[in-house]
Structure 1
Amino acid sequence: MPRLLIVAHAPSPNTLRLREAAARGARHPDIEDVEVVVMPPLEAGPEDVRACDAILLGTTENLGTMSGALKDFFDRSYYPVLEEKQGLPCALYVRAGHDGTGTRRAVESIVTGLRWKWVQAPLILRGDWQQGFADRVEELGMAMAAGLDSGIL
């Protein structure tokens, strides 16, 4: 059974809503044959990346870049998975209080080095909190799991 790994930093109630929305979408009842694993970045590591067939990353915008927790995940996982997980389908959502540009660029740079394959452009959730943010992340989680379920990813 294909596995979708969701690695998302959730330091606040709203970012926790986003991570839960991603998981809810990925576990949609119409998607039957995908295992969904949800982990905070400080708990996820190379063995989790090796065991997955696609990865959904979530982060806050911290001082114009990704969270330290997601950076730590990449620091611990980059070299151990570099050769064996090239082509891994991935997506990203960013909860950005400002514009999210630096965060997007930082993650894109690492993903390019890993030679992972973007499923879609990063989803940047800018400005003050909106309930629609969770809806968009839920759709992203659902799309990734549906892609795995149908064999597209």
Structure 2
Amino acid sequence: MSSKVLLIVAHAPSDNTRALRDAVLRGATHADVEAVEVRYRAPLEAGPEDVLGADAIILGTTENLGYMSGALKDFFDRSYYPVLELKQGLPCALYIRAGMDGTGTRRAVESIVTGLRWNWVQPPLTLKGDWQEGFVQQAEELGLYLAAGLDNSVF
């Protein structure tokens, strides 16, 4: 069975956001997922070649002044046009670590994803307010959901 590639591009500048990134990775590499290769790239290291080699993508960002992180925006700036015509329909998901409500961040990413014509596999996961340990479980479930769906050709 050939392997599919799940790309995770996540900004993780703090202990809490690194815990979320690690949870997404843990879920995506669950033992029950057999034919999915998981590739993680920090947004400033990721580029169009990573997206072109992916069968699905999970985006992770902090809420910065009501917007996505500058690092994720930089990734989109460098990758948008090189992948625009080649990766339409790419299954995607998003998680946001939001100190406030995450609305502006969500809207900004949704606008770019709509332009890219990627397909949401579930509504964006907004982890808002004060840190809660339950955020880690939700992030892990997101990683598992995408990897399992890709493994089983659901999307």
The 5-angstrom pairing of residues 68-79 of structure 1 reads: 68-79=70-81
Unmatched segments (≥5 aa) in structure 2:
none
Q: Which residue of 1 aligns with 2:86?
A: 84
TM-score (norm 2): 0.98
| Runs of 4+ more than 3 Å apart | none
One of 83, 104, 107 as aligned partner of 2:106: 104
| 2: CA distance, partners of 1:95 / 1:56 | 14
- The question of 1:148 aligning with 2:150 is answered yes
TM-score for both structures, normalised by structure 1: 1.00
Q: Structure 2: which amino acid aligns with 1:29?
A: A
Aligned residues: 153
In structure 1, how many angstroms separate the alpha carbons of the residues matched to 2:146 and 2:109? Answer: 18
Alignment equivalent of 1:43, drawn from 36, 42, 45: 45
Equivalent residue in structure 1 for 2:136, among 126, 134, 137: 134
How far 1:145 sits from its partner (Å)? 0.2
CA distance in 2 between partners of 1:63 and 1:16 (Å): 20
Report what 1:13 is aligned to: 15
Residue 43 (structure 1) shift: 0.3
Seq. identity, %: 73
Which letter does structure 2 place at the counterpart of 1:43? E
The Cα shift of 1:5 comes to 0.2
In structure 1, list runs of 5 or more residues that go unmatched: none
Instruction: Report what 1:27 is aligned to.
Output: 29
